[in-house]
Homo-oligomer: A and B are copies of this chain.
């Protein structure tokens, strides 16, 4: 577009605070934007890196950030680089960004939109069937050579006919619902408000949803209202044949209560892709046969990473051209 250095106010300078991206993503960003200040390539501590970015002749107006990255994006972060006017998250969940603080300062925020939603939904379905049909547990039995010794493995439970209560019927929750409906499950849901577009039964209370369901799938975003939304009470309402699937954020579930309920068989099993203190997992879960655990990988496939690259660049190009973001996030809609 422009030749030579554009004026500081319009320069497309990016602050890159991401960890999990491939080399081609970085190369694509470098091709599109005037300068890319790359935290991981810098090798500097975060405060020094941010201070250097802020005092550069052309300070960055946009940043690419990811939840599993180095920093919460809060008032202190925004103070450190006051030139920022746009944050693009590589994740759908933006619980690591202080949205109210961003709104106050006029910093626009975009997330990954629906890029990952089908992958997350597939992963949730696989974990649910795995817990019900004991796929992982039966596999450990085979791998440890016990099949010829002990003979038949205990029966699992059927997927069809299960009543599955989904907490949060956004992009991801809706795709999970669609898949489970096709697999013969009955779908119920809870969300802030009932959705006119679906015929699933709505429960205004998560406790009532749990009481009516065999399975609870946690698919809501994490915010003050949803933290520990799966509480001791909810687990009790779900009951001893109940199963929890969590592909949202670890802190949506009271993990200590969940571990206790699993230990004492007050619920039947769990499929967990997320945890309260990642990469930490409560030690006692590691040896439980009725828990399927993955390391926060539900969102990621190599195919969706390339979609994410295109989507992120499109959001940034929109910002730098003064157009609306493709997938803006507002405090009141999270």
**B-contacting residues of A (Cβ < 8 Å)?**
19-20, 68, 118-119, 122-123, 125-127, 129-130, 132-136, 138-139, 141-143, 145, 147-148, 151-153, 155-161, 178-179, 182-184, 278-281, 286-287, 292-295, 297-298, 300-305
Complex Cα–Cα for A280 and B132 (A): 25
Q: Is the CB of A142 within 8 A of B281?
A: yes
Q: Please tell me if the beta carbons of B158 and A297 are within 8 angstroms of each other in the complex.
A: no
- With A141-B295, A286-B142 known as contacts, the answer to whether A151 contacts B303 (CB < 8 A) is no
> What chain B residues lie within 8 Å of A293 (beta carbons)?
139, 142-143
Contact A294 B139 (CB under 8 A): yes
**Beta-carbon contact of A295 and B158 below 8 Å:** no
On chain B, the residues within 8 Å of A133 by CB distance are 119, 122-123, 126, 297-298, 301
In the bound complex, CA of A123 to CA of B139 (Å)? 13
In the complex, chain B residues whose CB is within 8 Å of the CB of A20? 152
The 8 Å CB contact of A160, one of B122, B126, B143, B153, is B122
The smallest beta-carbon distance between A145 and chain B, in angstroms, is: 7
Asked if B118 and A184 make an inter-chain contact with CB atoms under 8 angstroms apart, the answer reads yes
A300 to B143, CA, bound (A): 20
Contact call A156/B301, Cβ cutoff below 8 A: yes
A143 to B182, CA, bound (A): 32
Min CB gap A131→B, angstroms: 10
B301 near A155: Cβ-Cβ < 8 Å: yes
